[in-house]
Amino acid sequence: MNKRILVTGGLGYIGSHTVIALHENNYEVVIVDNLSNSDKSFLKKITDITGKSPDFECFDLTDLIPLKRFFDTHPIDGIIHFAAFKAVRESVKIPLKYYYNNLVSLIQLLQEFQARGLDNFIFSSSCTVYGQADKLPIKEDAPLKPLESPYGSTKQMSEQILRDYANIHIKKVVSLRYFNPIGAHLSIKIGEFPLGIPQNLVPFITQTAIGMHPKLSIFGGDYNTKDGTAIRDYIHVYDLAKAHVAALSRLLRGKNRSSFEVFNLGTGRGHSVLEVVKAFERILNKSFDYQIIDRRSGDIEAAYADTSLAEKELGWKAEISLEEALQTAWAWEKKIASDKEKF
């Protein structure tokens, strides 16, 4: 019998790519998503890509009645928990929305998980938990710094909740700390749908190139980096998705070394904002309009992953280059534009 996995937030950006990777590795998937930042049309697209239809339940994890009913009716072998709010800037303005949603949903999910004697839990975390790390590349044992954004704090708090829970109840829990996910599935059938004006670099670049914004503003040209712009580790979303399958398989085979494990998911390579812009110009085969303005508050100077732990323990390594990832992001942006024209 194939294992059956609950994917919360499974219609979101990283969640939907992970559902595809799970299908491709013969897992059955049931998605729970409240559609607050995702689109139901992705269900059909997942089926188009994999030939399999995930089960789908639409409810909010902070809502206990449907949550209990879900577990009463769906036997599962593990959970990958993506569902959370993720807009860094909004979280500064409306902190309670983030603390309530991201923490209450996690706690209620864990209470049901515990009450039903379930095991194997994968959490969607972020390299934001490190703040500006003292040493690069960043290893998993780097200290976690106080953060400016409630969003980032919910990731740190969620990890603490999971660590305490896993240790006392001897459960298998993994937290995956993503660096900067970019790009779209190689089929260009699914990708990222930012709500409103994108805060993240790559969707802003592709939207500018398609004509939705006059130019890109680069936040900060005076960082202590090779060209003055900030450095990040950009990882293709499908590479990231595959790491979830590797982590799940490790838990299901009981290969974990402790109740609570943490892995960095990045490429191990840092690229500056200007390098990303130049790489994108090579894809467009023309220059791209940008200006360098003041730093964005809360941004760090540089972050890229030490990926050796994930390579050794998960047997996983990112394979898709920055250029290929940007090509998929650009192809996806053009696909969204041509779909809009059709309607």
Question: Does 126 interact with ligand UFG (rule: CB under 6 A)?
Answer: yes
Question: Taking the CB of residue 138, how many other CB atoms lie within 10 A of it?
Answer: 24
- In single-letter form, the type of residue at position 315 comes to G
| Catalytic (active site) residue 151 | yes
Q: Which of 13, 27, 98, 151 is catalytic?
A: 151
Q: Does 303 bind ligand UFG (CB under 6 A)?
A: yes
Closer residue to ligand UFG (CB): 99 or 204: 204
Distance (Å, rounded) from C-alpha 196 to C-alpha 258?
41
Report how far residue 268's alpha carbon sits from residue 163's, in angstroms, rounded to the nearest whole number: 25
Tell me: does residue 127 bind ligand UFG (CB under 6 A): yes
Q: How many CA atoms lie within 13 A of 11 on its CB side?
A: 23
Per CB under 6 A, the list member of 8, 37, 101, 128 interacting with ligand UFG is 128
From 136, 204, 308, 321, residue interacting with ligand UFG (rule: CB under 6 A)? 204
Residue 262 touches ligand UFG, criterion: CB under 6 A: no
Q: Exposed (0-12), middle (13-18) or buried (19+): which is 315, by Cβ within 10 Å?
A: exposed
Contacts of 99 (CB under 8 A, 6+ apart): 150, 153, 154
Distance CA 178, CA 162 (A): 17
Is residue 200 within the footprint of ligand UFG (CB under 6 A)? yes
Considering the rule CB under 6 A, would residue 106 count as an interface residue with ligand UFG? Answer: no
* Closer to ligand UFG by Cβ: residue 119 or 192: 192
Residue 193 as a binder of ligand UFG (CB under 6 A): the answer is no
Question: Out of 109, 122, 147, 201, which residue is the one contacting ligand UFG (CB under 6 A)?
Answer: 201
Report the residue from 232, 236, 244, 269 that binds ligand UFG according to the rule CB under 6 A: 232
Closest distance between ligand UFG and the C-beta of residue 180, in Å? 5
138 interacts with ligand UFG by CB under 6 A: no
Q: How many residues does the chain have?
A: 343
* Longest distance between any two alpha carbons in the chain, whole Å: 58
Angle at 180 between CA 176 and CA 185, to 5 degrees: 90
Measured distance CA(343)–CA(338) in Å, rounded: 9
Residues that bind ligand UFG (CB under 6 A): 86, 88, 126-128, 152, 180, 199-201, 204, 216-219, 230, 232, 273, 296, 299, 303
- Catalytic residue IDs: 151
